[in-house]
Structure 1
Amino acid sequence: MELSLAARKAITQAQLAKWPKASKVEKSAILDSVCGVTGWHRDHARKAIRTLLADPQHGSAPRKRREPALTYGPAAIEVLERCWAALDGPAGKRLKPALDEVLNNLARHGHLADIDPAVIVQVRQMSAATIDRRLAPARTGLVAGKGISHTRPGSLLKSSIPMKTWHEWNDTIPGIIQIDLVGHDGGDANGHFHYSLDATDVATGWTETITVRSKGERIVAAGLEQLWLRFPFHISGIHSDNGSEFINHHLLNWCTSRKITFSRGRSSHSNDQAHIEQKNWSVVRRNVGYYRYDSRRELDLLNQLWPLVSIQVNQFLPQQRLISKTRHGAKVSKRHDQGATPSHRLLTQFGDMVDPHDRTRLENLRHDTDLVELKHQISDIQANLLELARRRGQITRRAKTNHVYLSGKKLPTKRASSDESTTQTTRAS
């Protein structure tokens, strides 16, 4: 029979006389006896004893929760939100390594002239966990969408293109890039719409994007030709999925003529190209969303946007690389390195692979770029794209052009007559 609350309280009061002068071992024995009789947890039993010691007759109300002592005031949080917004809202572990560079950039271009220097010192001292806690209200309302996969298998040439799986990407040097297409269909895969060709370097995380009007093999190869010239280092290898826009003679000849190694992942194993799959969301979808883009005006706006996003992502936004992954039963523990921008990784870890003119150009670009002005330019283009999407209205997903055959309505549904059937029907008498 379960004890009543009054009985539990009486049992606890019987131990009050021993508690104040008891040693640590004796208090542990008292808690064991109280928990054994009442069935309470030790923490709750300890709290009940403290409450009855304050008022042995009736027990006092629970102790009021202590008000948090805030180290950083509203002014510091406002400056932190400026830095966070300038880098398009990264997490604390990515924002913390970039804070010094961002604050120096904002101060160099006069955006912190009205801020007390002591406040800036406070922002520099914030830890990654504190940054996440204090930016939690600013993240409220940020909703992620979901798109449609447009990858259609291309069986041609599969046997002649070597396959590379996810565990072969641990140790590499700059110049091995992964590529993928992101469709801007707006939820309706019928008709004509644009695609963004995304390319990222595995070693440094350097990412470049261009939008093409379709995923024809010649158009994709022409877009890749432009991306190839935007990387500040030599491209020696390309890795893609098994989509027909990549697995074709045209792209294979393009790679062969430039002495570029061409490899592919396994079918239905997107983790074989995990680096580019991540950038499809963090670079493409975060900047242009899931709207439909199919006009010439939208194509021009998108290709005006990507060079600006490239400066923001490659010069100022730190990225983390996976160091190790250990499995303990069902739990997987991952360790990442300290966040660093792709430009910083390239110039410090692989500086011998960068031409001196390219090094000077990258350093001048990072020094002269006004982060706030760059963010305003990106926001203006995004606002224009959003207005064009609003004027189009909501996209209603239409049936596919071959939906009649897919639904089976064109297939013969009439049963064979008794004289046509190979097995005669029987009836019970």
Structure 2
Amino acid sequence: MSLNELPRFQRDMSLNGRSGSIIFQMVIDMDESRLGSIAQLQAFLEGTLEVSFSAFADDQERYAHIASVVRRLGYTRLSRPDKGIVLRYLARTSGYSRAQLTRLLARVLEGQPLAKRYRVPAHAFARRYSPADVALLVSVDRAHGCLSGPATVHLLRRAWHVHGDARFERLAQLSPSHLYNLRKSGPYKAARVSLTKTRPVLNAIGQRRAPDPGGRVGFIRIDSVHQGDLDRIKGVYYVNAVDILTQWEVVACCERISEAFLLPVLEQLMAQFPFPIRGFHSDNGGEFVNRQVAALLGKLQAEQTKSRPRKSNDNALAESKNAAVVRKTFGYSHIPQRFAGLINTFCQEHLNTYVNLHRPCLFAKQVMDAKGKIRKTYPPELVQTPLEKLASLPDIDKQLRRGITVQLLQQQAVQVTDLQAAEQLNAARMALFATIEKRSRRLA
């Protein structure tokens, strides 16, 4: 290669505005049209100047360069080794890969014009943060333990403005809202997020199914109710149990949901039902699904069932009574745990007697419509007290506890009217709250 064919170098000096350093940029200006033979291309490729450059402003200039080289050298008439030299030359001057050049040359030889076949969609958004920025964000989250959005953005800004790390120049402008978008992106999840399935709770206590009374009493649904916190101090707990068939309800109170406090209250609660307990259904809370409760039910020969996932009606009867009876009686305000004994006595002597002998309940009647769907209606003739529902069952005396009959319960119910029973309940509740308030003030 002669001196006239060597590249002409120009030195471009610019000033970096941030650091004040001078940057030298080498610009290559070469008249490649002088290379008109395979020997000259070979000499260029084997020259002493190991230069990899791209002397074209855009793809259109590259396309024109490729077409001109093919025409000038008569690419179709060349041998296979010479075609390889041309491909090496075009790869050096255009910057395209060997596979891309093969596709472009095929289009030129077919007489097709070289032009871009893709366009940026009109609705596309410009990508501001590169994969390197996402990888840098992954490293920050991994090091700091994935802090909140505002805290992470503060760290990114400090890395650029305080510590001068040039890698964080774009991330320093990241907003907290867009930070979460980057955390949801595919590259971030591939490097940072690992998804695992929820591990099922393997608890062999109880069966996951709805109870089936089969027309018998003694199958109860049970739930716990918390009275509320005050300055992070727990209040009393209520245990509410309701018979499925008759809606016979027993409410008890304990200081804490633990073995020492709950088991005695459960024994006392189940003993207040006029019939033996045959079934015990609860949600999946640990206060009822444990070995101690299972042993207690084993002594009573009662089956234990628990609510199923995605079956919100499995324990709906007890939960509805929580609002209609427990919350309406005791409200939502905090009651200290030391008053659990007084409340439990009030439930035994007044509340449970009222709700079972004098408070009416709605019982459903199932009707199948024309589409075969079962619908529940609540006709007026099925509004009964739990005692009235219990007395309407056939051969009910055989299902009651020894020494208890329907006649004895009915005689107890008619000793006072329903209005007098409600008034006595309200008076006893006011006296209970007055006692709690008086003792609380004395301790304060």
The TM-score, its normalising length taken from structure 2, stands at 0.47
Q: Which has the higher strand share?
A: 2
The TM-score, its normalising length taken from structure 1, stands at 0.49
